[in-house]
Chains A and B, each alone.
Chain A
Amino acid sequence: KNEVEQSPQNLTAQEGEFITINCSYSVGISALHWLQQHPGGGIVSLFMLSSGKKKHGRLIATINIQEKHSSLHITASHPRDSAVYICAVVVGGADGLTFGKGTHLIIQP
């Protein structure tokens, strides 16, 4: 069974800080998703990665397939970035999505 571990589970930082959230998984995957969920809100897809690096605004996602590891970075963090960030991996097959338990991020002004 594929295990997905996220770290840290909780993170509180000051506005403007550089944020890194990590995701490790135990078996080979075909793709990895980073998702964002605001308190009481829906879930939004931030990135889908199968290799390398992607950037969207202040968000950067990287993946190292050999090391089975991905990171989500937030530059110049802002209180509106406060949310739960969830990593999900695709092993293969229609049911092959396994989710991490999420990283709860709070950015204080």
Chain B
Amino acid sequence: DAGITQSPRHKVTETGTPVTLRCHQTENHRYMYWYRQDPGHGLRLIHYSYGVKDTDKGEVSDGYSVSRSKTEDFLLTLESATSSQTSVYFCAITSGTGPLHFGNGTRLTVT
């Protein structure tokens, strides 16, 4: 199995609090992605990275920021969580020419 881990696996937080999700890989892959998965919407891209300190916005980036200070870690931050950000978050990695590998997901509930 590809070395990709997400943490935490579950989180409950209150509206207005900051939240950071971590994606860690041991594959040395260039590309890393954060998606959210919601019923009826499928997987939607939040932000992605194509290298250290190289990131860009995806389809649903409002309210989220990311950082990638080293190849293996890609952090997703909700600066001030809202109930609409309750979702399951997946990180994915790829070399660009090979398959996608997904983390196990983080179930985030904002109350």
Contact = CB atoms under 8 A, between A and B. Distances in A.
B12 interface: no
Contact of B100 (A45, A95, A101): A45
A97 B104 contact: no
B58 A95 contact: yes
B99 A42 contact: no
Given A43-B90, A102-B42, A97 B102 contact: no
A101 B44 CA distance: 10
Contacts, number: 47
A97 B58 CA distance: 10
Interface string A81-96: 0000010100000110
A86 B50 contact: no
B100 A94 contact: no
A43 B102 CA distance: 6
Contacts of A45: 99-102
B43 interface: yes
Given A94-B48, A95-B48, A88 B100 contact: yes
Interface in B18-54: 31, 33, 40-45, 48, 50
B98 A95 contact: no
Contacts of A86: 42-43
Given A33-B100, A44-B102, A45-B99, A99 B43 contact: yes
A94 B99 CA distance: 14
B56 A94 contact: yes
Contact of A42 (B43, B45, B98, B103): B103
B7 to A, nearest CB: 14
Interface in B60-96: 90, 92, 96
Interface of A: 33, 35, 41-45, 47-48, 86, 88, 94-95, 97, 99-102
Interface of B: 31, 33, 40-45, 48, 50, 56, 58, 90, 92, 96, 98-105
